[in-house]
C-alpha cells in the first residue's frame, strides 16, 4: 500500500515542480511518517528540493557541506545504525567525486543508502559540462550490488523514491528532465523496480528508453506511425538489474532495436542492452542513441537535446534512415 | 571488558605481538608489520580498559563501536579481537588463506567483531562520524572510536569528516591517530610533512590530546578523559613503526614485508625476552 497519493492533480503538480522538487516533496512526505528516513546533502539542499524538509524536519536533514565523499561515508555510518539514508548531489559529483565511497559503502558493504543524482543528463544547461551527468551510469553500473533506477517523469520519481525507501539495500536514482518536461504518465500505474513497462506494442522496431527519453521515444513512435513504421516502446526505468524477461520478448519480435538515453553511448542503458544480447546466439541490430563520447558545447537544455538528436522528430528521422539503409 | 584491572597490559601486548609474528610468518607472503606493531598498545588498552562490548553479542545495540580506518593494520587488530573473545585464536591461522575472512584488510563481519570493510584509506572517520551522529539521533549512549594512520591524514576526506564532526558536535566520537611518522613511501617529512598534525586538528576545532602511544597508562587516561561538551576528541599517539622488534623499528622496509624463518625466530625471541 503506497503512502503517497497518485491523484491526477498531484501528478500534474509534480510535473510542474520538476524532478528535483518532486524528490524533495516525496522524501519529506515519507520522512514525516518514518523518523528513520534521513536526507543528506552536500550543500545542495535547496537545489535538491530539500528546503522544506530542512525546515519541517531539521533533525532528519543533514548537510555535510561541500564534501560529497564525506557525505557518503556519513551515510554509511547512519545506514549501519538502522537509518534509511537518501544522499543527493549533482550527478557527476556523487558518481565521480564520491565514486570510491559508493564502491566501498554501497557496493562492497551494501549499506542501505539511496544515492540520488540530481540534474543528470544535460539538464544543467548553461552550467556546462562540469555539471552534466553524462557518464554517471557508466561508473555506477560497474559497481556490484547497486540498483539503478532512472525515472521517466516526475510521477515515476515519486514511485522510485518510495520503492527505494521501502527496500533495504543500495540504490542510485538518476533524475533527468526539468520542470515542465513532458509527462509519460498522467494516471496512476503499477511500478515495480526491475520490471520494465511496455508502453506500446509495435511490429517494425523496438525502442528501449529510460529517463527523459521515454517521452521522446513515445513522440518518435507517433511520428513513425504516421509514415507506416510501427514501433514498440519500453520504459526501462530500472537499468540495473535490467529486465531480462522484457528483453527476451523484444528478441522474439526479431526487429531492429534502438536504445534511447540522456547519457553517453558508453556504459549506460544502451550498453546494458547490448551486453545482454551479446551473450545470445542470434545477432541483433542494436543502435545506441545518446550523447556522443565527447564534451561538446554548452547551451540551454533544449539546445543540447536538439544538438544531440534527442528529440522525438530527430529520433524518428534517425530510425527511418537506419531502416531505409537496411 | 573481559580482563581484571590487575592483569598486565604489557603482557597482553606481548602476546598480541607474538600472534602477529606468527600470522605474518605463516601466511608466507608480505604483511603490514610496521603499522601493525605500532598500534598494539593502543588497541590493547582500548579493548581491555575502555570499550564496552560483549563478544558473545557482537550486535548489541549498546556496544561501543570501533572502526579500523587504517585498514592495513589488521595484524594489530585480528589478534586483539581473538584475545578479547570474538573468535578462537586458532582462526588466526587462516590469515591470508584463500577465501578466508581474515585477509590483509578488514572485511565487515559483525560476528567476528569487525564493524566495517576498510583498506582504502580515508573512509573510516566519515563512517565513524555517521555512527556517532546516529547515536545522537537515536539518543543512545554508545561511543564511537576510530583508529587512523598519520599517513592516512593525507587524504582530503579525513578533513571533510573532521569539519563535519565539529559542526555536528560529535563529542561521542574519538579519533585515535597512530602517529608513527612513516607512510608507504618513507618518512612522512619526505612525503607530506605532518609534524604539525596537532595544530591542524586544533585548527579544525577538535579537542587534541598528545600522548606516548606505547604507554598504557597515558593511553587509558586519554581515552577516559572526560570529553569537552560538544567537541570531538582526537588522540595523537606518538608511536614507533615496527615497535618491539629492534630491526623493524623505524625501518620502513617493514611497512609491508615477508618474514623469513630466520627473521621470524629472531623477532619472536626479542618479543619473548621482554
For B244, phi and psi rounded to 5 degrees?
A: 105, -15
Minimal CA separation from A302 to chain B, in Å: 37
Check residue B23 and give its pLDDT.
98
ipTM of the prediction: 0.96
Confidence of residue A283 (pLDDT cuts 50, 70, 90): confident
User: Is the distance from CB of A236 to CB of A209 less than 8 angstroms?
Assistant: yes
Q: In the predicted model, what is the mean pLDDT of chain B?
A: 96
Residue B199 confidence (pLDDT) above 60: yes
* pTM reported for the whole predicted model: 0.97
Which residues of chain A neighbour B132 with C-beta distances below 8 Å?
Answer: 77
Each residue's pLDDT tens digit, A316-326 = 999 999 999 87
Check residue A94 and give its pLDDT.
98
| Contact check, Cβ <8 Å, A69/B168 | no
Residue A134 confidence (pLDDT) above 60: yes
User: Is the distance from CB of B105 to CB of B118 less than 8 angstroms?
Assistant: yes
| Contact check, Cβ <8 Å, B126/A72 | yes
Please state the rounded mean pLDDT for residues B89-112. Answer: 97
Active site residue A68: yes
Which residues of chain B neighbour A105 with C-beta distances below 8 Å?
Answer: 123, 127
Each residue's pLDDT tens digit, B258-274 = 999 999 999 999 999 98
Q: In the predicted model, what is the mean pLDDT of chain A?
A: 96
User: Is the distance from CB of A214 to CB of A191 less than 8 angstroms?
Assistant: no
Q: Which alpha helices (H) appear in chain A, and where do they start and end?
A: 8-17, 19-33, 51-56, 68-80, 91-92, 99-101, 136-141, 154-166, 213-226, 244-253, 269-278, 301-307, 312-325
Minimal CA separation from A298 to chain B, in Å: 31
Check residue A3 and give its pLDDT.
85
Check residue B3 and give its pLDDT.
60
Check residue B226 and give its pLDDT.
84
Label the pairing between strands B186-187 and B182-183. Answer: antiparallel
User: Is the distance from CB of A115 to CB of A72 less than 8 angstroms?
Assistant: yes
Q: Which domains does chain A have, with CATH numbers?
A: 8-174 (3.40.50.970), 197-325 (3.40.50.920)
In percent, how much of chain A has pLDDT > 70? 100
Where are any strands of DSSP class E within B99-197?
144-149, 173-179, 182-183, 186-187
Confidence of residue B5 (pLDDT cuts 50, 70, 90): low
Contacting A with CB below 8 Å, chain B residues are 108, 115-118, 120, 122-123, 125-135, 137-138, 156-157, 160-161, 163-164, 167-168
Question: Cα–Cα distance between B90 and A278 in angstroms, integer?
Answer: 47
Check residue A170 and give its pLDDT.
98
Which residues of chain A neighbour B128 with C-beta distances below 8 Å?
Answer: 77
Check residue A216 and give its pLDDT.
98
| Contact check, Cβ <8 Å, A73/B168 | no
User: Is the distance from CB of A303 to CB of A212 less than 8 angstroms?
Assistant: no
CB of A109 within 8 Å of a chain B CB? The answer is yes
Residue A297 confidence (pLDDT) above 60: yes
Out of B117, B161, B163, closest to residue A109 by CB:
B117
Out of B116, B135, B157, closest to residue A69 by CB:
B157
B175 by Cβ neighbours in 10 Å (0-12 / 13-18 / 19+) ranks as buried
Residue A103 confidence (pLDDT) above 90: yes
Q: Which domains does chain B have, with CATH numbers?
A: 9-273 (3.40.50.970)
Each residue's pLDDT tens digit, B237-263 = 999 999 999 999 999 999 999 999 999
| Contact check, Cβ <8 Å, A67/B108 | no
Check residue B274 and give its pLDDT.
85
Check residue A48 and give its pLDDT.
86
Check residue B2 and give its pLDDT.
54
Suggest the residue from B127, B140, B141 to mutate for an interface test with chain A (most A CBs closer than 10 A).
B127
Which residues of chain B neighbour A104 with C-beta distances below 8 Å?
Answer: 117-118, 120, 123
| Contact check, Cβ <8 Å, A70/B120 | no
A168 by Cβ neighbours in 10 Å (0-12 / 13-18 / 19+) ranks as exposed
Each residue's pLDDT tens digit, A144-165 = 999 999 999 999 999 999 999 9
Amino acid at each position: 500500500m503506497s503512502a503517497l497519493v497518485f491523484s491526477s492533480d498531484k501528478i500534474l503538480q509534480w510535473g510542474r515542480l520538476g524532478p528535483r522538487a518532486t524528490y524533495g516533496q516525496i522524501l519529506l512526505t515519507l520522512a514525516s511518517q518514518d523518523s528513520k528516513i534521513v536526507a543528506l546533502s552536500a550543500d545542495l539542499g535547496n537545489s535538491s528540493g530539500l528546503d522544506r524538509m530542512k525546515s519541517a524536519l531539521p533533525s532528519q536533514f543533514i548537510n555535510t557541506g561541500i564534501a560529497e565523499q564525506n557525505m557518503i561515508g556519513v551515510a554509511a555510518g547512519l545506514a549501519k545504525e538502522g537509518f534509511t539514508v537518501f544522499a543527493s548531489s549533482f550527478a557527476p559529483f556523487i558518481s565521480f567525486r564520491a565514486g570510491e565511497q559508493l564502491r566501498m559503502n554501497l557496493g562492497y558493504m551494501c549499506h542501505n543508502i539511496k544515492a540520488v543524482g540530481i540534474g543528470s543528463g544535460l539538464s544543467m544547461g548553461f552550467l556546462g559540462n562540469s555539471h552534466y551527468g553524462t557518464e554517471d551510469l557508466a561508473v555506477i553500473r560497474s559497481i556490484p550490488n547497486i540498483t539503478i533506477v532512472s525515472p521517466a517523469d516526475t510521477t515515476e520519481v515519486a514511485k522510485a523514491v518510495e520503492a527505494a525507501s521501502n527496500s533495504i539495500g543500495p540504490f542510485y536514482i538518476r533524475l533527468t528532465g526539468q520542470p515542465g518536461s513532458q509527462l509519460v504518465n498522467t494516471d496512476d500505474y503499477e511500478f515495480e523496480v526491475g520490471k520494465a513497462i511496455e508502453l506500446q506494442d509495435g511490429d517494425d522496431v523496438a525502442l528501449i528508453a529510460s529517463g527523459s527519453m521515454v517521452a521522446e521515444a513515445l513522440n518518435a513512435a507517433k511520428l513513425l506511425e504516421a509514415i507506416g513504421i510501427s514501433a514498440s516502446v519500453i520504459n526501462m526505468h530500472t537499468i540495473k538489474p535490467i529486465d531480462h524477461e522484457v528483453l527476451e520478448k523484444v528478441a522474439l519480435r526479431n526487429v531492429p532495436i534502438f536504445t534511447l538515453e540522456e547519457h553517453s553511448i558508453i556504459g549506460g542503458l544502451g550498453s546494458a542492452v547490448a551486453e545482454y544480447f551479446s551473450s545470445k546466439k542470434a545477432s541483433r541490430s542494436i543502435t545506441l542513441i545518446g550523447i556522443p563520447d565527447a564534451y561538446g558545447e554548452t547551451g540551454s537544455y533544449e539546445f543540447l537535446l536538439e544538438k544531440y538528436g534527442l528529440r522525438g522528430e530527430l529520433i524518428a528521422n534517425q530510425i527511418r534512415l537506419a531502416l531505409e539503409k537496411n | 571488558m573481559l580482563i581484571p584491572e590487575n592483569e598486565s597490559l604489557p603482557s597482553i601486548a606481548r602476546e598480541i605481538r607474538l600472534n602477529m609474528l606468527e600470522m605474518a610468518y605463516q601466511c608466507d607472503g608480505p604483511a603490514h608489520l610496521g603499522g601493525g606493531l605500532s598500534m598494539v598498545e593502543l588497541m590493547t588498552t582500548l579493548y581491555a580498559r575502555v570499550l564496552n562490548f560483549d563478544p558473545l553479542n557482537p550486535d548489541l545495540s549498546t556496544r561501543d563501536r570501533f572502526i579500523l580506518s587504517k585498514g592495513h593494520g589488521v595484524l594489530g587488530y585480528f589478534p586483539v579481537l581473538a584475545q578479547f573473545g570474538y573468535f578462537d585464536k586458532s582462526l588466526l591461522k587462516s590469515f591470508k588463506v584463500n577465501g578466508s575472512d581474515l585477509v590483509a584488510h578488514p572485511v565487515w563481519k559483525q560476528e567476528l567483531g569487525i564493524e566495517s570493510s576498510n583498506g582504502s584509506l580515508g573512509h573510516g572517520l566519515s563512517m565513524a562520524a555517521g555512527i556517532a551522529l546516529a547515536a545522537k539521533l537515536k539518543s543512545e549512549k554508545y561511543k564511537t572510536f576510530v583508529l587512523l594512520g598519520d599517513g592516512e591524514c593525507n587524504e582530503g576526506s579525513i578533513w571533510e569528516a573532521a569539519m563535519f564532526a565539529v559542526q555536528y558536535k560529535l563529542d561521542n566520537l574519538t579519533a585515535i591517530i597512530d602517529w608513527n611518522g612513516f607512510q608507504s613511501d618513507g618518512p612522512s617529512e619526505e612525503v607530506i610533512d605532518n609534524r604539525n598534525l596537532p595544530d591542524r586538528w586544533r585548527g579544525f576545532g577538535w579537542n587534541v590530546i598528545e600522548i606516548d602511544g606505547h604507554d598504557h597508562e597515558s593511553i587509558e587516561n586519554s581515552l577516559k578523559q572526560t570529553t569537552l561538551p560538544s567537541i570531538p576528541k582526537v588522540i595523537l599517539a606518538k608511536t614507533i613503526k615496527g615497535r618491539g622488534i629492534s630491526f623493524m623499528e623505524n625501518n620502513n622496509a617493514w611497512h609491508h614485508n615477508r618474514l623469513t624463518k630466520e627473521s621470524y625466530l629472531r623477532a619472536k625471541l626479542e618479543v619473548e625476552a621482554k
